[in-house]
Amino acid sequence: MTSVLVVDGANVVGSRPDGWWKDRAGAAQRLHERLLVADLPHDDVVLVLEGRAKGGVRKGRDGHVTTVHAPKDGDSEIERQVRAATGRGARVTVVTADRLLQARVQGIGALALGPSWLLDQLA
């Protein structure tokens, strides 16, 4: 069974006050670069970006990381990604600080973890 990690880019970047708000695209790019070299316990990683952060990483697949540009809000796109992956029979983990989104994706069958879990993995 494949395992998929869906990352709420805005929530992960926004979880640490490191000046990300001054350069959202740059912060998204740094997160993407860290995901590319990380040794994560997942077969595939889906990085969902929204708003100005989309300017930092082109959409598409790069190694084991697929970057998705949310057409509207990131939460709806994350939920769509979870439904697609679980529909293919994958085990899905979502990283987000948004408690309502966590509840929604858990209702679909995903495991939800906070940004600190991912940031610890990337350290």
**Which domains are present in the chain?**
3-122 (3.40.50.1010)
- Residues contacting residue 87 through CB under 8 Å, at least 6 positions apart: none
Strand blocks (E) in 1-123: 3-8, 44-49, 60-62, 65-69, 91-95, 111-113
Specify the pTM.
0.96
HSE on the CB side for 69, CA within 13 Å?
Answer: 13
Q: 85-96 pLDDT, tens per residue?
A: 999 999 999 999
How confident is the model over 3-13, as pLDDT tens digits?
999 999 999 99
Query: What is the token pair recorded at 16?
Result: 């640490």
